[in-house]
Amino acid sequence: AWYIFLVLLVAAILGDTVNYHAGKYIGPKVFNANYKYLNKKHLIKTQEFYEKYGGKTIIMARFVPIVRTFAPFVAGIGTMHYGKFIQFNVIGGILWVGLCILAGYWFGGLPFVEKNFELVLIAIIGISVLPMVVEIVREKLK
């Protein structure tokens, strides 16, 4: 089971590291341009979150949809030193992967989950998408 944890941890850390470097090297061009598939509001929202919570954003962002996608990118655009970023990235990765594995372990053995795996999977996807849907509805109502 430890090898699964290590593989997922390395993948999580590498994913955010690539995103950080993308932000560092191409971020200013992207941030100042108007791309159809990149919502500038999401970048700005992540930047505000980052300014409010500092380096802890890298840890907390793993648990916040939308922010999770842009936090390493915005850290790369901003002034966060790579050494500081990687420390928060590793801590966040350990917490995220550990929590996901523990949740799978705890809930995976429940009879209800075993008997209704497809339903549980759909519920997980629905819960994951819900914050994004709420945000879209809020924007439309403004």
pLDDT digit string, tens, across residues 83-100: 999 999 999 999 999 999
Rounded to whole angstroms, the Cα distance separating 56 from 54 reads 5
Supply the pLDDT for residue 31.
67
pLDDT digit string, tens, across residues 10-25: 999 999 999 999 989 9
- Say how many C-beta atoms besides its own lie within 10 A of residue 107's C-beta: 13
- What are the residues whose beta carbons fall under 8 Å from the beta carbon of 84, sequence distance 6 or more? 55
Q: Which of 105, 95, 20, 21 is nearest to 62 (CA)?
A: 95
Please give the structure tokens belonging to residue 48.
Answer: 């505000």
Q: Which of 30-39, 55-64, 89-98 has the highest mean pLDDT?
A: 89-98
What is this structure's pTM? Answer: 0.75
